[in-house]
Homo-oligomer: A and B are copies of this chain.
Amino acid sequence: MKHLLSIADLTGADIHGLLELTDHMVEISQRTIPKVPALRGKNVVSLFFEDSTRTRTSFDAAAKRLSADTMNFAVSSSSVNKGESLRDTIETISAMGVDAFVIRHKSSGAPQMITRWTTACVVNAGDGWHQHPTQALLDCYTIRTNLNRRDSFEGLRIAIVGDIKHSRVARSDVQAFTALGAHVTIVAPPTLLPPSLDGWPVEISHELDSILPDLDVLYLLRVQRERMDDALLPSLREYSSMYGLTAARAARLPAHALVMHPGPMNRGVEIVVDPADLAGSVILDQVTNGVAVRMAVLFQLLGSGGDLKGDVS
């Protein structure tokens, strides 16, 4: 594994291996000094062409727990503003000595393209509507540990609800969940579905209520307010009444079912009930697991052999 660009590049066994490695990273994260020298001297550069403090920080924390050095490029202050091409930017930063790039870009496929211009590893931290593979891995890890499904998701029923059309999270999660054997239903109004669902190994539903009692996982997507401007949504209130997680809907979920969300949440829209009041909410577990999963990804790409044993004291 040289890059992490898309869940589509991974087999179920690959995903399983990364989740096993994540177990080690969780153990490290729970130590008194949650830090190992595994990636000392490695240089991890995050290059975010779209704002995302949340994801950038999670990668940053992951890199630091492995003792890597980190550099953050906010594009607003970079030479990209002086008209430099993406290729020149990548080649230049790369020439300073980079071991891994963590890339977020509004264009689908940008991370893939960037692999041509650098010998560093590339991790896709979200590209357009295309992929967000570490999100899918942390979602898998969260389901795996909370539903005690170490070996397979066979038989699990997962619903992903919301703006499937514009969601890299949905695309990545569908691939990852089904690669591990889960049964996935996507739930959305017709305007928020992709034009074609050929090749999506999912069931489709336009309503949520009838399927709630059968779910093991209810995965809520963030509603982008700008979709209303595109006339794809009549109103947030109408969306909420059809697809929002209210207390009434939450009560219809099985007791063991998980509620998940990639954040940041629009409270009162896709999630009306306070997740703190839901026994099944694992939304903060997702955040915590995100750091461990990203440690596993960085270690898989940049680490060598048995060097998780040491400590930094």
Contact A93 B40 (CB under 8 A): no
Cα A60 to Cα B93 in complex, Å, equals 12
A64 proximal to B (CB < 8 A): yes
A190 proximal to B (CB < 8 A): no
Please indicate the chain B residues that have their CB under 8 angstroms from the CB of A53 in the complex. 73, 77-79
A265 proximal to B (CB < 8 A): yes
A229 proximal to B (CB < 8 A): no
Please indicate the chain B residues that have their CB under 8 angstroms from the CB of A291 in the complex. 96-97
Please indicate the chain B residues that have their CB under 8 angstroms from the CB of A35 in the complex. 40-41, 69
Please indicate the chain B residues that have their CB under 8 angstroms from the CB of A58 in the complex. 96
In angstroms, how far is the closest chain B Cβ from the Cβ of A131? Answer: 21
For the complex formed by this chain, how many copies does it contain in all? Answer: 3
Cα A85 to Cα B266 in complex, Å, equals 9
Residue of B nearest to A98 (CB): B61
A95 proximal to B (CB < 8 A): yes
In angstroms, how far is the closest chain B Cβ from the Cβ of A128? Answer: 18
What are 10 inter-chain pairs, A to B, with CB distance below 8 A? A37-B313, A41-B312, A43-B61, A53-B77, A54-B92, A57-B96, A64-B69, A84-B263, A89-B264, A96-B291
Interface residues of A (CB under 8 A from B): 29, 31-35, 37, 40-41, 43, 51, 53-54, 57-58, 60-61, 64, 69, 71, 73-74, 77-79, 81-85, 88-89, 91-93, 95-97, 225, 263-267, 284-285, 287-288, 290-291, 312-313
